Amino acid sequence: MSAVGKRIVDSEALRGFSADLLRAGGFVPDHAAQTADLLVWANLRGADSHGVLRIPRYVEMVELGIINPNAEPRLVTDFGAIAVLDADRAPGAVGMVLAADKAVSLATRSGIGWCSAKNVTHAGAVGYYAQKVAQAGMIGIVMTASKPLMIYFGSKAEGVSTNPIAIAAPTARLDRPILLDMSTAAVALGKIMAASDAGKTIPHGWGVDENGADTTDPKAVKAVLPMAGPKGSGLSLMIEILSSVLVTNSIIAPSLNGSTESSFNGLVIAVDPSAFGEKTDFTRDIDELCQAIKGLPPASDTGQVFLPGERGYAELDKRMQGGIPLAAGTVSRLVALATKRAVAIPTSLR
């Protein structure tokens, strides 16, 4: 990745600066640190759209009352292998990390644990929570649900969200789980914005214009299309049922019926391989699977076959070593916020 027009910042410095900004914006220290860790994790893996560029909006969400800076998340249901956490509109990372920890502790007892988190706020990169579960030696499955943002297949209107799902499985290297992290949309909105900025057309199947017609003009895109047509919007709908309807906190139906309230729900499932009886080395079998996939012939002579999450680890190694390149626009907005809130700016961003 080229660093032209970008500023390079060390991940540790960026994490500290981010936490400072969030604290200055009203987050309590623990919540600020947790959120900063989530955002910098995304930057480290190259998912800059889910990184620190979100901070100004998060601070605004506190001002707007969308995020509750004094939230006190609490368990409202704890039955068998199921728990429901009411996150009280805490910062997304706070509610979701609590849910991940609870799912792991339920799974330790029951083999599987399911923790719903209702009234979370924007959860960011959901892979973060799945890899946390995997680092506890379990399989993590994470979903989040939000308001209609994506065309429902067969309609010309937004009927479902781009609800993501992440699944992580531990490997012999606990810090490198296999990590599938996908939205149910055909493409990330960021890719459409990038094509627009570059003056390029986009392929059919990415987005529709204001008449609901598939368009190749990124500037005309009003809504993104679902991944694989009815599969993407169907899966998103089921994520709404699992994450929202089950905990009596529906988002889609009220939104389509006119509610403008902002709402997010999430869900973490942990599955403990050691509960599956026969004593064998689960991670050894996973590693064998990974090797078999890596051994497949690439589609092109110069290509490479990647495991889910592997590109992110390559970027992580690079950015841990050489720093995180931040876009000029991101830097200037963070610096402006820091100036306004009297937060010290790291040398590398001054």
Q: Which is nearer to a second copy, 266 or 273 (CB)?
A: 273
Pick 35 or 243: Cβ nearer a second copy: 243
Considering only residues 70, 201, 280, 339, which one is a binding residue for a second copy as defined by CB under 8 A?
280
Choice between 237 and 343, CB closer to a second copy: 237
Q: Is 145 helix (H, G, I), strand (E, B) or coil?
A: strand
- Closest contact distance (angstroms) between CB of 122 and a second copy is 22
Helix 11-24 crosses helix 55-63 at what angle (to 10 degrees)? 10
Q: Which is nearer to a second copy, 55 or 141 (CB)?
A: 141
Alpha carbons 100 and 94: distance in angstroms, whole number: 10
Least distance in Å: CB of 13 to a second copy?
A: 32
Site string for a second copy, 173-212 (x = CB under 8 A): -----x-x-x---x-------------------------x
Interface residues for a second copy in 90-119 (CB under 8 A)?
Answer: 109-112, 114, 116
Under 8 Å between Cβ of 144 and 127: no
Sites for a second copy among residues 36-95 (CB under 8 A): 76-77, 79-82, 84
Q: Residue 18 or residue 255: which is nearer to a second copy going by CB?
A: 255
Q: What 3-state class would DSSP assign to 180? A: strand
Contacts 24+ apart (CB under 8 A), 248-252: 248/118, 249/118, 249/119, 251/145, 251/146, 251/147, 251/161, 252/145, 252/147, 252/148, 252/159, 252/160, 252/161
Alpha carbon separation from 125 to 272, 304, 308 (Å, rounded): 23, 25, 15
Angle at 345 between CA 93 and CA 92, to 5 degrees: 10
- Indicate whether 257 belongs to the interface with a second copy (CB under 8 A): yes
Q: In the range 214-253, which residues lie near a second copy by CB under 8 A? A: 227-228, 230-232, 234-235, 237-238, 240-242, 245-248, 250, 252-253
123: tokens are: 């959860």
- Cβ of residue 83: shortest distance to a second copy, in angstroms? 9
Region of 154 please: left (phi>0), alpha (psi -120 to 50) or beta: left
Residue 293 touches a second copy, criterion: CB under 8 A: yes
Structure tokens at 41: 């994790």
Q: Which helix (DSSP H) or strand (DSSP E) does residue 8 occupy? A: strand 6-9
Write out the binding residues for a second copy, residues 146-175 only, by CB under 8 A: 152, 154-157, 159-160, 167, 169
If phi > 0 it is left, if psi is from -120 to 50 it is alpha, else beta; for residue 9 that is: beta
Nearer to a second copy, 33 or 125 (CB): 125
- Is 145 a binding residue for a second copy by CB under 8 A? The answer is no
CB of 154 to a second copy, least distance (A): 5
Helix axes 55-63, 328-340, angle to 10 degrees: 40
- Copy the structure tokens of residue 213: 């017609």
Residue 339 CB, nearest approach to a second copy (Å): 41
Which of the ranges 31-39, 54-62, 286-294, 337-345 carries the binding residues for a second copy, by CB under 8 A? 286-294
Question: CB of 152: closest distance to a second copy in angstroms?
Answer: 6
Q: Residue 79 or 198: which CB sits closer to a second copy?
A: 79
Q: Which residue stretch of 32-40, 63-71, 215-223, 303-311 sits at the interface with a second copy (rule: CB under 8 A)? A: 303-311
